[in-house]
Amino acid sequence: MPTTSGNLPNARSPRTLPWFLLIAANILWASSYVAAKFALRETSLVFMLALRMILAAVLLLPLLWVQRRALKLRRRDLWQLGLLALIGFVVNKIFEFGGLSLTTASDVALLISSESIFTALFCWLFLRERFKKVTLCALLLGFVGVYLIIERSLIPALPVGGGAWRILGDLMVVLSLCFEALYTTRGKAMLVKHSPLLVCAASIVGSTIFWLPAAAWEMQTPHWHAPGLAGWLSIAWLAIASTVFAYLAWFKGLEKVDGSAAASTLFIQPLLGTVLAILLLDDQLTPMTIVGGLLIVVSVYGITRYG
């Protein structure tokens, strides 16, 4: 999910509508993990992701066409945009939802909130941005939270049964967050020169260069079969609600709300995503999972408030 990086207008007294849009975007993103779980029960990871991105690209194309002059991409920008599409909407999504297929939706909802932790770390390492001691403490606290969610214990122990697959899934999600943070870090220069929404939309459309052949290849494999109604509805929700509407609402809200203030709405994702996973998927939380999630929330708050 996108962070609040970028050269965005400040708004000291935002109106109700921008805040409503920011909250709505996070609600839609929180629902994506449960929707993806339902979709993965009926179809493959590759087909689900391919159809999601292709459908979202078709819906976003009119926006790009209308705003094509505002984007003003130069030839050198196309290579950067291609890299952003590969990192943010191909590699990142494969690891994020590939990890989701192996772990629980509640784990993913809690882990995904740590994206700001990796973004802050990468901005410090690669962009040499200002780094305070309180930010370092918040980062360390966040990494402890990530560890507790993955390990579910203070002391490392070899899991039994299917626990190893869950840990692998959690680690894949964490790796996806690294790619998401790299997407934000690499795209920061473009976000200064171009509209964040247009860059994001162009990245999604550009990712179809990979997803179109991937979908065609998947449909030719012997084990492929068309998903049922629940699968199609879940994929449609992922494409229309969690991608198109969510990104449109997020960036529209950021036009009127300061980025640091908007970051507070990101906490909706781990809370609502976990609740939905418990109610709809019967996910179970351990005490260490809850503690880990709380540590991540405190860490993200510290980074966005004092970093």
CB 98 within 8 A of CB 175: no
DSSP state of 162: T
Q: Where do the domains of the chain lie?
A: 16-306
CB 97 within 8 A of CB 238: no
- pLDDT score of 53: 97
Q: Over its length of 307 residues, how does the chain's per-residue pLDDT go in tens digits?
A: 665 544 444 444 446 888 899 899 989 999 999 999 999 999 999 999 999 999 999 999 998 888 877 777 777 788 888 998 999 999 999 999 999 999 999 899 888 877 777 777 777 777 666 667 777 787 788 888 888 887 777 766 655 556 788 889 999 999 998 898 888 777 776 777 788 888 889 999 999 999 999 999 999 988 888 899 999 999 999 999 999 999 999 888 887 877 666 776 777 888 888 889 999 998 888 888 889 888 888 887 777 676 5
| Amino acid found at 133 | K
| Token pair recorded at residue 292 | 């880990």
What residues contact 130, with CB distance under 8 A and at least 6 apart?
none
Helix, strand or coil, per DSSP, at residue 81: helix
Place of tokens 């030839």: 75
Sign of CA dihedral 187, 238, 303, 305: positive
CB 76 within 8 A of CB 263: no
- pLDDT score of 159: 58
- pLDDT score of 70: 78
A 10 A CB-CB count for 49 gives 27
What is the Cα–Cα distance from 252 to 197, expressed in whole angstroms?
Answer: 8
CB 295 within 8 A of CB 148: yes
- pLDDT score of 10: 45
- This prediction has a pTM of 0.82
